[in-house]
Amino acid sequence: MDGDQKDIIRRNKAIIHKNWGVIKKQLIVEDVIDTLIEEGAVAVDEWMEMKKKKSEKDKVEELMSILLMQPNYIPIFQKALKKTKNCLAKELEFHGDVDSSGIFLFLS
């Protein structure tokens, strides 16, 4: 991974950290989980554990921690948000993109 890719990952992680509270308030995990599972960003067993959480905020925190541990999946999260038409998709300006095959593209 070159310096540009590391910088994009660092910036994407910073966006999640900076918007943690907004994400917790506005995200409904069920709205994005199918795309995240289909694209390999979240394992089915991780989702089954998340579903056991009592509150939506707890589910969101667990999902965000998964994404922060695997920041190359953050653009897949962005793709999932765009599919839902959730206003978060516009608010969170992540860097990079995912092509139609699920390959992470680093954009400057």
Q: Residue 104 is inside which H or E element, if any?
A: strand 104-105
Strands (E), 44-103: 97-98
pLDDT score recorded for residue 104 = 38
Is 105's pLDDT higher than 50? Answer: no
Helix (H, G, I), strand (E, B) or coil at 55: coil
The architecture of the domain spanning 14-99 is: Orthogonal Bundle (1.10)
What is the model's pLDDT at position 55? 93
Q: 3-state DSSP helix/strand/coil percent for the chain, to nearest 5?
A: 70, 5, 30
- Bridge partners, 98 (sequence order): 104
> pLDDT tens digits, residue range 43-76?
999 999 999 988 999 999 999 999 999 888 888 8
- Angle between helix 56-69 and helix 3-18 axes, rounded to 10 deg: 160
Express each pLDDT in 10-22 by its tens digit. Answer: 888 888 888 899 8
